[in-house]
């Protein structure tokens, strides 16, 4: 894989949505039906220099994306971000998620005002738990039975990392 990371562009939205939709049938995200590029235009526009959205390209093809979004819309949390990362099925199990998290961490450490990054991971998503743990994120707690997906209650695990860890 000849992976390069870059900021996402409007022209990437269709591919970003396609990658996200590969996981809609799995209990790993909050959506219960497929999303469309039109439904995500405002979401894409919400990313900025402090809270960026990146894509990973393999020979020019977008195969993953990673976004940092405000953790909570209150000024006290302005230096905290929630991280999301999605890797296309065709690019999974090749170390790309770990490389992307390392890239995001480097950006946080060197060029972003973010001091704390939080990841929300559903209880059954063992690959993401392993990925974030291996990238230096610490398990911070559980929100028990917080989500209903496919008529089943799920716990939401919280992993986090602060800039000085």
**Average pLDDT across the chain, whole number:** 92
How sure is the predictor about 22, in pLDDT bands with cuts at 50, 70 and 90? confident
Distance CA 107, CA 131 (A): 18
Distance CA 24, CA 1 (A): 26
DSSP 8: -
Longest dimension (CA), the chain: 43
Residues 109-128 have pLDDT tens digits of 999 999 999 999 999 889 99
Domains of the chain, with CATH numbers?
3-117 (3.40.630.30)
How sure is the predictor about 136, in pLDDT bands with cuts at 50, 70 and 90? very high
Distance CA 8, CA 130 (A): 26
Model-level pTM?
Answer: 0.92
Residues 38-90 have pLDDT tens digits of 999 999 999 999 999 999 999 999 999 999 999 999 999 999 999 999 999 99
């Amino acid at each position: 894989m000849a992976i390069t990371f870059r900021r996402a562009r409007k022209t990437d939205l269709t591919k970003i949505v396609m990658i996200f939709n590969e996981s809609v049938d799995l209990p790993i995200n909050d959506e219960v039906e497929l999303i469309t590029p039109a439904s995500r235009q405002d979401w894409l526009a919400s990313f900025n220099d402090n809270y960026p959205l990146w894509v990973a390209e393999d020979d020019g093809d977008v195969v993953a994306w990673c976004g940092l979004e405000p953790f909570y819309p209150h000024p006290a949390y302005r230096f905290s971000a929630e991280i999301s990362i999605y890797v296309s099925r065709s690019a999974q199990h090749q170390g790309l998620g770990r490389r992307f998290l390392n890239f995001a961490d480097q950006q946080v450490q060197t060029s972003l005002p973010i001091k704390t990054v939080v990841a929300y991971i559903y209880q059954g998503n063992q690959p993401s738990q392993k990925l974030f743990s291996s990238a230096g994120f610490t398990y911070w707690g559980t929100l028990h039975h917080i989500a209903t997906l496919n008529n089943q209650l799920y716990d939401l695990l919280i992993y986090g990392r602060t800039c000085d860890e």
